[in-house]
C-alpha cells in the first residue's frame, strides 16, 4: 500500500527555554515521533538525542510525552521548555545548543527593522564557521545567496548588515556547521528560518516515511 507523509509544519510553538543540563555544551535534536494536537485525545511524543561538540552521541534517545496540554516540559536536569497550543506533525524536527554552563540558548534574530535585501525572491544561507555564544564569544558566520556571499563576525549582540539587510543578532549559542536561512520576497522583505524552528530534514522525512511503511 502507498505511504502518505503529512508534510505540514507543526503549529505548537516551543519557547521559554530555562534551566540547564548540568553543565555541558551539547547539541540537542528534537523530533516529533507521534503526531497529534496538544491537549487532544492522542498525546504527541517528542524524541530527543544529543551530541557533543565533536558530533559524538552522548545521550538518548529519550522521549517527552506531551500529556498535560500546553505548558512546561522537562528535557533533563532542570532544562525545560514551554510548548504552546496547536499541532505537532510527526517527522518535524528542530535543534538547540547549550552553552558551556549547560544553558539552552537558541539563536534569536530580529528582522523587524531590517529593511530590504539587495536580492529579491532569494534564499540567504548562513553557516557557522567559528562557534561561540553571542556576547561571551565571537561566532563567525559565512553567508551566500544566488548572487553574492560574505562573512560576518558577531563581536556582540546587536545589528549587522548583510547585503542590504539589517539583522539583529540578539542571543544564541552557535556551533560550527550550524545553518539557518533567510528568504526574501519580491520586495526584498526577509523572513528567518532557524534550526530551532520546527522544520523538515531529509533524514527526518526518511525516518517518518519508514515508520509509516512498517
SS3 103: coil
Quote the pLDDT of residue 45: 98
Q: Kindly write down the DSSP assignment for every residue of 45-93, as one continuous string.
A: EEEEEEE-TTS-EEEEEEEEE--SSSEEEEEETTEEEEE-SSEE-TT-E
Domain ranges (residues) in the chain: 14-106+198-213, 108-193
Cα-Cα end-to-end distance for the chain: 11
Quote the pLDDT of residue 60: 82
Query: Which residue, 193, 211, 201, 7, is CA-closest to 89?
Result: 7
Quote the pLDDT of residue 17: 98
Quote the pLDDT of residue 175: 97
Neighbours of 27 (CB within 10 A): 20
pLDDT of the chain, 214 residues: tens digit per residue: 677 777 899 999 999 999 999 999 999 999 999 999 999 999 999 999 999 989 999 988 999 999 999 999 999 999 999 999 999 999 999 999 999 999 999 999 999 888 899 999 999 999 999 999 999 999 999 999 999 999 999 999 999 999 999 999 999 999 999 999 999 999 999 999 999 999 998 787 787 777 777 7
Quote the pLDDT of residue 1: 61
What does the DSSP 8-state code read for residue 208?
Answer: H
Amino acid at each position: 500500500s502507498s505511504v502518505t507523509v503529512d508534510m505540514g509544519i507543526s503549529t505548537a510553538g516551543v519557547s521559554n527555554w530555562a534551566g540547564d543540563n548540568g553543565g555541558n555544551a551539547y547539541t540537542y535534536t528534537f523530533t516529533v515521533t507521534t503526531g497529534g494536537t496538544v491537549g487532544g485525545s492522542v498525546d504527541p511524543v517528542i524524541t530527543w538525542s544529543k551530541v557533543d561538540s565533536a558530533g559524538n552521541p552522548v545521550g538518548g534517545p529519550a522521549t517527552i510525552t506531551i500529556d498535560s496540554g500546553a505548558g512546561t516540559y522537562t528535557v533533563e536536569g532542570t532544562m525545560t521548555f514551554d510548548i504552546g497550543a496547536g499541532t505537532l506533525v510527526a517527522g518535524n524536527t528542530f535543534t538547540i545548543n547549550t552553552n558551556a554552563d549547560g544553558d539552552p540558548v537558541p539563536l534569536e534574530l530580529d528582522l523587524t527593522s531590517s529593511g530590504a535585501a539587495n536580492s529579491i525572491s532569494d534564499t540567504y544561507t548562513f553557516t557557522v564557521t567559528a562557534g561561540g555564544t553571542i556576547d561571551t564569544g565571537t561566532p563567525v558566520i559565512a553567508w551566500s545567496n544566488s548572487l553574492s556571499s560574505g562573512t560576518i563576525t558577531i563581536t556582540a549582540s546587536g545589528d549587522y548588515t548583510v547585503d542590504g539587510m539589517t539583522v539583529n543578532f540578539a542571543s544564541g549559542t552557535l556551533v560550527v556547521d550550524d545553518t539557518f536561512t533567510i528568504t526574501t520576497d519580491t520586495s526584498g522583505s526577509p523572513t528567518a528560518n532557524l534550526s530551532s524552528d520546527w522544520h523538515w530534514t531529509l533524514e527526518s522525512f526518511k525516518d517518518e516515511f519508514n515508520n509509516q511503511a512498517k
